[in-house]
Amino acid sequence: MGRWLTWVSDQHLQGWACSQCEWNFPIPSLLTDPEAKSAYDRLAAGKFQGHDCAQHPARTRTKSGTELFAERARKLVMRGYKPKDAVDLVLQEIMLEHRSEPKVVEQARADAEDFLRRIRQGLI
């Protein structure tokens, strides 16, 4: 399975990370200049290409796919997106992230329908 560089932004880390292992390249806290951000992105891409996934623990998922989908969609809704738009965006992201894994994409579609159903019923 191939690996890719992915952006992570949560309470523990903000920066680039590997999709397959726990390698990450955190963004410096005072980085604001657009040219510096571009340089950071290039440096992260170079470091990513040179890292060995065997040297880092495998990336683990502690939540089920449904919980991850709902969490991602909920974050967008909290930022002002309409629930339907948030679900569409998360679904598109998952389709890009897992384009070679049809079972994951199919599960994401089911999670999207479930999320919208729970919104309509007032459960979320």
Count of beta carbons in the 10 Å neighbourhood of residue 30: 7
The overall pTM is greater than 0.85: no
Between CA 32 and CA 114 the distance in angstroms is 39
Q: Tell me if 57 sits within 8 A of 24, measured CB to CB.
A: no
Q: Tell me if 83 sits within 8 A of 121, measured CB to CB.
A: no
| Count of alpha carbons within 13 angstroms of residue 14, beta-carbon side | 8
Between CA 2 and CA 93 the distance in angstroms is 17
Please, which pLDDT band fits residue 15 given cuts at 50, 70 and 90?
confident
Q: Where are the domains of the chain?
A: 5-55, 65-120
Alpha helices in 2-101 (DSSP H): 34-50, 65-78, 83-97
Q: Using one digit for the tens of pLDDT, what is the confidence trace for 16-62?
A: 888 888 899 998 877 778 888 888 889 999 999 999 988 988 876 54
Structural tokens at position 85: 């738009």
